[in-house]
Every structure is written in C-alpha cells, then in structure tokens.
C-alpha cells in the first residue's frame, strides 16, 4: 500500500525549469514536499526522498495525509 501511495503522489508532481537552469518539483496538496536539482531525474529522485520522509514523519506525528488517486494512509492507534 505504501509503494502505491508514493507512486500515486509522484504522478501528481509538477516540474518546471527555473531561470538559472535548475529543475524544481513539487506535489500539489502535499505541503512542504518540494525538490530542486540540476537535472530532471535528480529532481524526481530528490522529490521522492522528500515525500518518503514527509510520509514517515506525518504518520509518526499522527497527521492526516492527503489522499492520492484514491489511496489514503493512516495509522491505527491501539488503546493504551
């Protein structure tokens, strides 16, 4: 499920070339998930790494994560 979620989110990514020739990528709806690199492929790889860390942190903190192509992630907390 996690892999499918990551792939779905990455399909939503938007990229642009900045005035200095660097590539910038972000995933709309995933606040703070962005990357900047010299090549498009490096930008994609960095963006996926940022996304993965963002997901892990969000789940650890109990944040509600956005749904990506109908796929949602959440953590079920067991009563203490």
d(CA 35, CA 44): 8
Residue 6's domain is classified under what CATH number? 3.30.160.250
Average pLDDT, the chain: 94
Residue 17 lies in a domain: yes
Under 8 Å between Cβ of 77 and 62: yes
The answer to whether residue 77 is domain-embedded is no
21 lies in some domain: yes
In angstroms, the CA 16 to CA 49 distance is: 18
The reply to whether 25 falls in a domain is: yes
Range of the domain at 43: 2-60
Q: What's residue 46's pLDDT?
A: 98
> How many folded domains does the chain comprise?
1
In a domain, 42, yes or no: yes
What's the whole-model pTM score?
Answer: 0.91
Q: Give the pLDDT of residue 76.
A: 72
Closest C-alpha among 32, 37, 45 to residue 17: 37
Q: What tens digit of pLDDT does each residue of 30-44 get?
A: 999 999 999 999 999
């Amino acid at each position: 499920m996690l892999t499918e979620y990551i792939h779905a989110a990455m399909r939503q990514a938007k990229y642009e070339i900045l005035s200095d020739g660097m590539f910038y990528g972000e995933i709309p709806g995933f606040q703070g998930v962005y990357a900047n690199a010299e090549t498009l492929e490096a930008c994609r790889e960095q963006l996926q790494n940022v996304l993965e860390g963002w997901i892990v942190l969000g789940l650890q903190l109990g944040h509600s994560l956005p749904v990506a192509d109908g796929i949602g992630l959440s953590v079920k907390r067991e009563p203490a």
